[in-house]
Chain A
């Protein structure tokens, strides 16, 4: 079974530029999560989707971050414009449903904002 796929693996941009990350969850998984992991900290949930609907985006900085999952499968997370403090690893995870006890994580996208 293929795992959660993410691209790109690494990205370096300058502040005020835009960047987009892509995630393809495990086939059949209805729930998709985006987490932000700042260096030295644990991951923090940014947004959660159930199919193509948003379940929780309470921690998403909506003035600069946006995410979509239009067809309920893969998802993109965008930052526009980026700030220095957005430097982090962006992890995508998926699970069968919101009731599932197991979330499977992708390898992450490492973003450096200069």
Chain B
């Protein structure tokens, strides 16, 4: 079935790069997404990648997709304290477009 998994916690120092990893089981995902959720807030779409791409860069964000290993990563360059949040990986499936989310990775950025 459809499943998306992420590591639960990541702690980095301000100015370092952060890498958040995600694995998924269903290779029919057409798009893969990264959402950010700050405390008490909804989900903010950060970036997404089409399944026929290997990499996408958007300012400080770099998404890498390894389709063979069904592995997705999000790299945040020059991480700031404002990047502290929970990051969700999600896959979009053809039938109806619903999103399947991972359980989220809590990123803590220390000054």
Q: What is A's interface to B at a CB cutoff of 8 Å?
A: 4, 31, 33, 35, 40-45, 48, 50, 55-56, 91, 93, 95, 98-108
Contact = CB atoms under 8 A, between A and B. Distances in A.
A108 B42 contact: yes
B30 to A, nearest CB: 8
Nearest to B50: A101
B55 interface: no
Contacts of B88: 42-43
A48 B97 CA distance: 9
B42 A105 contact: yes
Contacts of B45: 102-105
3 closest A-B pairs by CB: A42-B101, A105-B43, A107-B42
Contacts of A45: 98-99
A31 B31 CA distance: 17
Interface in B13-33: 30-31
Contact of A100 (B97, B102, B103): B97
